[in-house]
Amino acid sequence: MDDVPRVLEVFKAIQSNFAIGKIVMTEEFRCVNSVDTVRNYEQCFGNVPAIFEPHLHLKQRVPLAVGSIRTGDTTQYANMILESA
């Protein structure tokens, strides 16, 4: 089902139980989404550093992930990798 759940809903749900040291997202996320969408994500991150890299680089990281959560979010390039602190 489109947009159920959304990436930020999952992020908010797990951040109280997971020490996030870094967030990795794609540069394309900032290019194709509205300023309000980008700002909303960055506000949710709080003090957790976020780095933005090309989409192809992010995809190369995925096979190394310990876990994966799939959402129904339709926000373009909203995928993120969370590294533990």
Structural domain includes residue 58 = yes
Residue-level pLDDT at 17 = 93
The total number of structural domains that make up the chain: 1
pLDDT tens per residue across span 7-39: 999 999 999 899 999 999 999 999 999 999 999
Q: With respect to residue 61, please indicate whether it lies within any of the assigned structural domains.
A: yes
The predicted structure's pLDDT at residue 65:
93
- 60 falls within a domain: yes
So what's the pLDDT on residue 4? Answer: 96
Specify if 14 maps to a domain.
yes
Buried b (16+ CB within 10 A) or exposed e, 15-40: eeeeebeebbbbebbeeebeeebeee
Residue 62: inside a domain? yes
Is position 2 within any domain? no
36: domain range?
7-84
Q: What is the CATH number of the domain that holds 36?
A: 3.40.1650.10
